[in-house]
Amino acid sequence: MNRKVIYWISLVLALGLIGVANGAEGLLGQYYHSAGGGPPTDPWETLVMERLDPTVNFNWAAGSPDPSVNVDNFSVRWTGEIEVPTTGSYTFYTQTDDGVRLWVGGELIIDNWAEGNTSDNGGIELISRQRYEIKLEYYENGGDARCELYWMGPGFIREVIPSRYLWVGGNRPNPRNPDPADDAVIRNTWATLIWTPGDYAASHSIYVGENYDEVEAGTGDTFRANQTDTSYALGFPGFPYPDGLTKGTTYCWRIEDVEADGVTIHSSPVWSFSVAPKSAYSPDPPDGAEAVDPNVVLSWEPGYGAILHNVYFGEDYDTVNNATGAIPQGALTYTPGTLALGKIFYWRVDEFHGVETVKGDVWCFTTPGAVGSPRPAHGAVNVRQDQILKWLPADKATSHQVYFGTDKDAVRNAGVGSPEHKGSKNLGSESYDPGQLQKAATYYWRIDAVDSTGTLKGLVWTFTTADFLVVEDFEDYTDNDTAGEAIWQTWIDGFGVATNGSQVGYLMPPYAEQTVVHGGSQSMPLLFDIDMKYAEASLTLGYPKNWTQDGVDTLIVWFHGHIVNPAAPLYVVLNDNAVVAHDDPSATQIHAWTKWSIPLQAFADLGVNLTNVNTLAVGVGDKANLQAGGSGTMYIDDIGLH
């Protein structure tokens, strides 16, 4: 039976039997401890509850002292972070029998501390994929201690916050909350780096540079200082870049918290920010955008210091690229008028700075009906070397012409007689196999639509292959299970196997995870139940099967757990029987993207013929020694040979 059918049957039964009680995920946004006194016994409750006044014995049983006498002495606090899925206005709802206060990002948005009120709400603007500190305090005047936290935001109705968006707990050892925010663009030639330290920091080592790898490794001249302050200046005399930061340059930085012993270190990820360039940037619609509204209004971010803007627009790349003499304008928008459907359009913005004019890049987009949805996505990096190119056909196309190569201009200008022309594809055959690709190489491709009126030229798309052998990047999966493209149709989980408590992907689209992602736009959610079970998902390999080529010697798996997962080991299996487990027996609780490097010799020592690896599996638990346990979710991404 199809898993979606089973999902709907289960949902109907659940609604009928429990009246939409607490859901199937365990509702991380809900704290609950039954009446009767004594401390919470569930590990999750222990993590998220703390007394505000440690001298007060909080009474869980009915008849606790009246909280109105001294509210703070009898309140319970959640602390944690929220990472939102998309930019927009979010409304939060809390529910408790008595009173509640809620802070998000340091802003008090709910303050309902009057006994008897069961809910209140507040709104706040949040930015996609940024993390915001959250604090929730509430009290109970006797009875059960219970509080629920909901949200409502873009694209979804009021719901308990799913576990993949909410982090709770009191043990946060790593630096966080960078300012400037990661990937920010600033309009100054100086910056002050600010961060929130981890829980155990005695001092902070600061690494800053223009090379990501050097900052990550702490090499070169990227180490700048060790200090107790949680801010650090750039672009001033006496500090790095004393002559000022450079326009158009990206700067990377990382903080290492050093504990009092001087040895134990907790590092942040590498963050980055850019100084705005002198040229126009951040076009809207974005460069390469598809199916843009024919009545679009173009806009952009002005170059740093620009006074006026010259806009060029048209249907031919060369014409737009070579155009001159536009009338300068002060507005940061341009309206080209109603555009034809199924076509590609080009535009360029030059920035006038008074003493010079800085030529802009040529951007492009298509209107609805044109060829689109390239796979790999336009601009993708770390693409696998056996990548099959795919696209969706133009609305009126009867066939498509394929162009592919390593020179962007050659692919853009190629015709049917050019070396970059790779043939014609009939309608219904929207794919092209370029053969084995080189590592760390950039490729360009173009798909032209052929219909009754002639040939409509397509966008030039680009991607870059990985500098390692990609085993699995999870980017090719879609929600089209009819075509066999769902993630759970390639990664075989425990569906229908009594002792295998794994589930690959979500029950309803999108099947793959699209928020908790290490690289690209998707990762694999591995939902697990290891109560007298193991949880394992297996992949049959097509390429690479020879794990000795190109001098590779290490398998790298990126994984992300959650602090509320039950503590359990994570393991990898090759050829169905060679098992290597992660060193941390509680790897499931590591709440960050974590690089797991496994020497291939470890598998060879277990009898694996590394020239012929047929299957790879990722699992949770102990397959040889089933034990009582719980359920949770892991995320897996970017499996490769290095």
CATH number at 603 reads: 2.60.120.260
Please say which residue of 168, 194, 224 terminates a domain.
168
**Residue 393 maps to which CATH number?**
2.60.40.10
The structure tokens 């601009």 sit at: 379
Domain of 113: which CATH number? 2.60.120.1560
Instruction: Please confirm whether the linkage preceding 43 is cis (ω < 30° from 0).
Output: no
**Do 480 and 593 sit in the same domain of this protein?**
yes
- Please check whether residue 13 lies inside any domain of the structure: no
**Same domain as 343, residue 240:** no
28 and 134 co-located in one domain: yes
Residue 146 has a pLDDT of 59
Query: Do 512 and 621 share a domain, yes or no?
Result: yes
Q: Which of 329, 351, 366 is the last residue of a domain?
A: 366
**Same domain membership, residue 235 and residue 108:** no
In a domain, 16, yes or no: no
Q: Which domain holds residue 452?
A: 372-466
Those residues whose C-beta lies under 8 Å from the C-beta of residue 163, and which sit 6 or more positions away, are: 25, 26, 28, 562, 564, 633
Q: Is residue 12 part of a domain?
A: no
Is residue 19 in some structural domain? no
Same domain, 490 and 599: yes
User: Taking 60 as the threshold, does the pLDDT of residue 564 lie above it?
Assistant: yes
Does residue 616 belong to any structural domain of this protein?
Answer: yes
Query: How confident is the model over 512-540, as a mean pLDDT?
Result: 95
Residues 267 and 412 in one domain: no
**159 and 51: one domain?**
yes
Q: Please give the tally of structural domains in the chain.
A: 5
Are 503 and 541 members of one domain? Answer: yes
**Within-domain flag for 93:** yes
Convert the pLDDT of each residue in 373-425 to its tens digit. Answer: 999 999 999 999 999 999 999 999 999 999 999 999 999 999 999 999 999 99
**pLDDT tens profile 476-488:** 999 999 999 999 9
Q: What amino acid is encoded at 448 in this protein?
A: D
Within 8 A by CB and 6+ apart from 328, the residues are: 308, 309, 310, 352
Higher pLDDT, 72 or 583: 583
Q: What is the pLDDT of residue 113?
A: 63
Q: Which residue has the tokens 């199809």?
A: 2
Q: Which of 300, 335, 366 is the last residue of a domain?
A: 366
582: alpha, beta or left? (left if phi > 0; alpha if psi -120 to 50): beta
Q: Is the pLDDT of residue 272 over 60?
A: yes
The label of the residue with tokens 């959640």 reads 78
Residue 422 lies in a domain: yes
Q: What is the pLDDT of residue 46?
A: 29
Same-domain pairing of 520 and 556: yes
Portion of the chain with pLDDT greater than 90, in percent: 69
Backbone angles phi, psi at 140, to 5 degrees: -130, 130
- Residue 401: inside a domain, yes or no? yes
Is 171 a residue whose pLDDT tops 80?
no
Asked whether residue 203 falls in the same domain as residue 130, the answer is no
Residues 203 and 331 occupy one common structural domain: no
> In the 3-class helix/strand/coil scheme, how is 415-450 assigned residue by residue?
CCCCCCEEEEEECCCCEECCCCCCCCCEEEEEEEEE
Pairing of strands 421-426, 454-456: unpaired
